Amino acid sequence: MSGRELSYAEAIREALAIALERDERVFLMGEDIGVYGGAFQVTGDLVERFGDERIMDTPISELGGAGVAVGAALTGMRPVYEFQFSDFSMLAMEQIVNQAAKLRYMLGGAVHVPVVFRMPTGSGLGGAAQHSQSIEAWYAHVPGLKVVEPSTPEDVKGMLLAAIRDPDPVVVFEHKLLYKMKGETPEGYYETPLDRAVVRRKGGDLTIVAAAIMVHRALEAADILAKDGIEAEVIDLRCLRPLDKDAIVASVTKTGRLLAVYEGVKTLGIGAEISAIVAESEAFDYLDAPIMRLGGVEAPIPYSPVLEKAAVPQTEDIIAAARRLARSEV
Amino acid sequence: MAVEIVMPRVDMDMSSGRMGRWHAAEGAHVVKGATLFEIETDKAAMEVDAPASGVLKFVAASEGDVLPVGACIGWIVPDGEDFVPSASSPQRSPGGREGAELAPATPSAPSRGWRDGRSRDARPIGHPMAADEGARQRATPAARREARERGVRLEDMSGSGPRGRVQLRDIGQRGLVARSASSVHRLWLQRGAGAPVVFLHGFGADLNGWRPVQRLLPNSRPALAIDLPGHGLSPLGEDVSFRALVEAARAAMIEEGVREAHMVGHSLGAAVAAQVAHEPPVKALSLMLIAPAGLGEETNGAFFTGFLQADTEAALTPWLHMLVVDPAALGAALARTTLRQRRERPLASEQRRLAEAILSGGRQGFQVRDLLAAPKAPTKIVFGIEDRITPAHHADGLNGLIALHRFPNVGHMPHLEARREVAALIEELARAGAASA
């Protein structure tokens, strides 16, 4: 059953189109998402298909746009707000963190805020310090939000559809390097759960936990490691809040070794949480080596392409770390 | 008991010596006092005599080798004894005391391991870790879990991981038997088929204290008695802790092939029995705790101090009488035997160290009460109401499934003072345990 292939960006566009067709409460907002087709050409021709009342270009005011989206969601609409870069969402933090994430709680469940924030994220395109960050851990720290980071076209379509239908705010991180990546994508409407990790590759020697682009680097690394007889199990987190603890603990209990790989700055990042989950769990007694983290360096993302690459984990870094871990050299 | 042969210090300045000729070959029988090997120091060559009689085994040095003082160069194993040395430092090994006569003023000198590639100590001599010997063994959580479940003592191992860290694979290469168990003295009071009763004595006692009650059990009931470290014929070892007692008892059981047992413990030994019963790999089919320690905090601090300080029969007897209501239950020779044993072995000093570690300030430094919250096997507690060491009320408030037998006019030694009744209870519990297993 060879399926149809879409790029990650196409899969998002398809999900948005399906949602727009299925549910008239759904509409899109964002800077340049209309005629221009979006900063990364994700929304593309949607404005022609659905009109500028449902594909709304917003002024250069992230706070204002996000505020409108949250307000519309409160009234029962299903807005999807696109940031050009996740870095710019910092301007809208008040709406996302203080309003969207908390209103249902503060009003005793009387309201829901079914808004989706889409955030192109990560480095690799020469965007420099203010357009290349990985701040997903910031949002994953906020109760009241769901935070997902799909790594494949199939997942991003299913998770976006699930996010739009979800009654509460969901933040979707889309790694910019994934937009052109192709993969089998089912047709029609389907949802992918917003709380479940997935094992992308089975192995018994160590567990690599990753998300988004790092999943692909980890899988590449695992293929090379396999030639050395090291079988890595690769877990794609998919969701950062809630984190699928059971999947992580089960895998580490089996392999006894954990390598957490993430693009965000290493200190206090997603990998720190994963390490702590394992250390606190019954998998602790099965650890046969120290936990290892590979994260971004403690610096802004540089503009120089050479330094930009050096600032976040690359496939070779994962191979080297996994080798040392599997061979008990750490 | 096997005796370790170490590189002796023959003058004050000596830190290492060069091996000369062996006067006996590996596997040969040697006689105590006969010349065993020669060494050469900076100043002189000299002959060294065999410290014991037996078979020369595990020779770890040959002519020309330069070894630090205290390094193990072989073992003398008594005829017929099945002995495998542990890789631990000399003074923990069974023959450590004999070896120590020649051995170093710096007992932490690392042992060299074996030449033939079986060496468990991959650390080079003089490696920084050597100074840490006796410190907690580095091990991964997985290795610790495996060691725990298999009764292997990590302290006796040297790992293959970075800086000697024990990894899971290191445990995997070892048998189920803890090597240090060889130093734990135990005796089958009755051999036979099926799960045995395993007896663990209390503080200051030894396995002989079980003989009166064991004699009243049916001959079909196998019984193994163990001398806890620092008691009877078992050396205390370096790790002085409640946990070490538990591990020693467990290791001895595993080495005897005991995987299922009816655990019977008295006082401190009862707490050890409860702990052994609580964790794999030994499965307790039943558990009998006689005047158990570990259920409450208080204990009779004065008793332990007085008992350990008394060095004459006249001084010791009143303390022993505190144990019972009717002194006749103890037997007339107990004070004399106790003092004789203390002269032959460093029991008083070892037991003092143990008391400081686990009974300091008249408080019990270990607890097994939580382990009894949900008994896994039929459990009985036996107390004398007149117990002056561990108060009988410590058994209050436990899980209702635990049977409590309180004997009036009995003190801290129900297995002596009410031995017929206690023997009957042991047999009854063993049957119940076997039936419910």
Name the residue ranges covered by the structural domains of chain A: 5-184, 198-326
Cα B67 to its chain centre, rounded Å, is: 30
Residue B378 buriedness (CB in 10 A; 0-12 / 13-18 / 19+): buried
Number of domains into which chain B is organized: 2
Q: Is B167 a member of any domain?
A: no
Q: Is B159 a member of any domain?
A: no
- A191 catalytically annotated: no
Q: For A256, name the nearest residue in chain B, comparing CA atoms only.
A: B142
Which ranges of chain B have pLDDT less than 70?
A: 10-14, 41-44, 86-135, 150, 156, 172-182
Count of alpha carbons within 13 angstroms of residue B286, beta-carbon side: 25
Which of A292, A328, A329, A330 has the most B C-beta neighbours within 10 Å, making it the best mutation to test the interface with B? A328
Strand B186-190 relative to strand A116-121: parallel, antiparallel, unpaired?
unpaired
Q: For B145, name the nearest residue in chain A, comparing CA atoms only.
A: A285
Q: What is the pLDDT of residue B240?
A: 86
Q: Express each pLDDT in A24-38 by its tens digit.
A: 999 999 999 999 999
- A131 catalytically annotated: yes
User: Do B237 and B380 sit in the same domain of this protein?
Assistant: yes
> Residue B391 CB: number of other CB atoms within 10 A?
17
Nearest residue, CB atoms, A329 vs list B142, B144, B162: B162
Residue type, A237: L
* Contact criterion met (CB < 8 Å) for A289 and B167: yes
* CATH architecture group of domain A5-184: 3-Layer(aba) Sandwich (3.40)
Helix (H, G, I), strand (E, B) or coil at B184: coil
Q: What is the pLDDT of residue B43?
A: 62
Q: Is B148 a member of any domain?
A: no
Q: What is the pLDDT of residue B259?
A: 86
d(CA B34, CA B52): 9
User: Do B297 and B418 sit in the same domain of this protein?
Assistant: yes
pTM: predicted TM-score of the whole model, two decimal places: 0.54
**Of these residues, A14, A31, A82, A131, which one is catalytic?**
A131
Lowest mean pLDDT among A188-192, A231-235, B142-146, B399-403: B142-146
Q: What is the pLDDT of residue B376?
A: 85
User: Do B110 and B201 sit in the same domain of this protein?
Assistant: no
Q: Is B178 a member of any domain?
A: no
Q: Is B261 a member of any domain?
A: yes
B279 interfacial to chain A (CB closer than 8 Å): no
* Contact criterion met (CB < 8 Å) for B160 and A328: yes
User: Do B297 and B381 sit in the same domain of this protein?
Assistant: yes
Whether A161 shows a pLDDT value over 70: the answer reads yes
The candidate with the shortest Cα–Cα distance to A173, out of A142, A223, A206, A139, is: A139
Provide, as residue numbers in chain B, all residues whose Cβ is less than 8 Å from the Cβ of A288: 140-143, 167-168
User: Do B66 and B203 sit in the same domain of this protein?
Assistant: no
CATH number reported for the structural domain that contains residue B228 in this entry: 3.40.50.1820
**Of these residues, A31, A62, A136, A233, which one is catalytic?**
A62
* CATH architecture group of domain A198-326: 3-Layer(aba) Sandwich (3.40)
Among residues B119, B140, B160, the one where a domain terminates is B119
A310 interfacial to chain B (CB closer than 8 Å): no
Q: What is the pLDDT of residue B418?
A: 92
B142 interfacial to chain A (CB closer than 8 Å): yes
- Domain limits for position B31: 3-119
Among residues B88, B119, B150, the one where a domain terminates is B119
Among residues B77, B102, B119, the one where a domain terminates is B119
* Tokens matching residue B132: 């840490």
Provide, as residue numbers in chain A, all residues whose Cβ is less than 8 Å from the Cβ of B142: 256, 285-288
DSSP string, A62-101: HHHHHHHHHHHHHTT-EEEEEPSSGGGGGGGHIIIIIIIT
d(CA B342, CA B345): 5
B144 interfacial to chain A (CB closer than 8 Å): yes
Contact B415, B349 (CB under 8 A): no
Query: Which of the four pLDDT bands, split at 50, 70 and 90, describes residue A2?
Result: low
The contacts of residue B274 (CB under 8 Å, 6+ apart) are B263, B265, B287, B289, B292, B294, B368, B371, B372
User: Do B207 and B72 sit in the same domain of this protein?
Assistant: no
